[in-house]
Amino acid sequence: MAKKLSTEMVSLLGNYGHIGFTFVIAIFLGLGGGIYLDEKFFEGKTSPWFTFIGLAFGIAAGFNSLFQILRTPAATPEDEDEKVD
Amino acid sequence: MEHPILFISIILEKLGLPIPHGPVGHGLLEQLCEPYMTYTWFVMAFLVVVGKLTLSNIEIMPGKGQNFWELLIGGMHDFFNANMGEELTEKLFPMIATFALYIAVANLIGLIPGFMSPTASINTTLALTIIVWVTHHIIGFRAHGAGYIKHFLGPIPVLIPLMLPIELISNIARLLSLSIRLFGNIMAKETLLGILFMLAGAFFAPLPIMLLGVLVSLVQAMVFVLLTVVYFGQAQEHAH
């Protein structure tokens, strides 16, 4: 019982423990890409438009990866107690 | 860097090899003698030697060593089967199981004084993550051909200009989050242990952190493997 509980705990931890990290990284990737487009590619002529567009895409990507994490099959471990008992 | 004493570095220095004192060495030889490189070789040698010692004569009635490995490998095999299907498990089990063993041992080795976790360096974790990331795209292309691109195009064609950047960003975010999480957790453990050891090592101050370190090391190794398996499974299945 204790072993079952701990493996379930670890798989839940693995699935949900990285939500925050992935979310933040997606936002910063979008923002960084936007800033790069503004400053390096268009050399500041379009500033700050691509920064904001990139930020919006980054936030959307964060929510997208959040939904992807929630949809994974491992996120809902099946109730094995019913099978065993 | 993290630990005051790294015994492999000391031995190599006595042998006359250049040991870098900063975080990055200059020459090729100096980069090869970085602590995370030498301790990576150490972990590899450890795994090979222990495997050889415990599994040199396989019996029908397993002894202690063989029992341990059968439990571990059998558990991992069942877990991979449940999460990414039999076909992928048959193909990729050696790779992922090696990652699991390597990361677990590499994380735990940093708890012993005189050793350093190779995973406390971003180079090691990024290398592991790049292998996983590239492999999951290869699996996708082999399973779906050019249709794998549909994974990145969203549900309806009208939304392609919106969904393509979003999916690309969240895919690259996987690469970064997988590597930085393992690196960050292990480096935090190593740095905290080092600081506590220097501040109050005589009063056993690092002891509670060592206890937590065991937990963190095992959980991070399992999380890395779990996410690897989930990504492989997702690349294999059909686009939503």
Look at chain B and report how many structural domains it folds into.
1
Predicted local distance difference test score (pLDDT) of residue A82: 46
In a domain, A82, yes or no: no
- Does residue A2 fall inside a structural domain? no
pLDDT at B1: 44
Round to whole Å and give the CA distance between A65 and A4.
Answer: 28
Is A1 among the domain residues?
no
Query: What is the nearest CA distance from A45 to chain B, expressed in angstroms?
Result: 22
**Residue B186: inside a domain:** yes
Query: Number of structural domains, chain A?
Result: 1
Is B44 inside any structural domain? no
Range of the domain at B119: 68-236
CB contact residues (below 8 A), chain A span 33-72, against chain B: 33, 57-58, 60-62, 64-65, 68, 72
Closest CA to B70 of B54, B81, B84: B54
pLDDT score, position A78: 53
Nearest to A30 among B169, B174, B222 (CB): B169
CB contact under 8 A, A26 and B170: yes
What digits encode the pLDDT tens for the residues B152-208? 887 788 888 888 888 899 899 989 988 999 999 999 988 888 888 888 877 888 888
Asked if B33 and B18 touch (Cβ cutoff 8 Å), the reply is yes
Cβ within 8 Å, pair A10-B169: no
Q: What's the pLDDT score for residue B239?
A: 66
Which residues span the domain enclosing A40? 15-75
Domain membership flag for residue B17: no
- Based on its alpha-carbon atoms, the radius of gyration of chain A, rounded to whole angstroms, reads 20
Q: How many Å lie between the alpha carbon of A41 and the closest alpha carbon of chain B?
A: 17
How close, in Å, is residue B110 to chain A by CA atoms?
22
Q: Tell whether B157 is covered by a domain.
A: yes
> Which pLDDT band holds residue B134 (cuts at 50, 70, 90)?
very high
Does residue A84 register a pLDDT over 80? no
Which among A15, A21, A60 has CB closest to B181?
Answer: A21
Smallest CA-to-CA distance from B118 within B205, B206, B217 is with B217
Of B167, B177, B233, the CB nearest to A18: B177
User: Residue B120 above 50 pLDDT?
Assistant: yes
* Residue A3 included in any domain: no
- Averaged pLDDT for residues B55-77: 83
For residue A21, being part of any structural domain is answered with yes
Helical ranges in chain A per DSSP H: 2-16, 19-36, 49-71, 80-84
Q: Is residue A32 part of a domain?
A: yes
In a domain, B121, yes or no: yes
ipTM of the complex: 0.75
Residue B48 pLDDT exceeds 90: yes
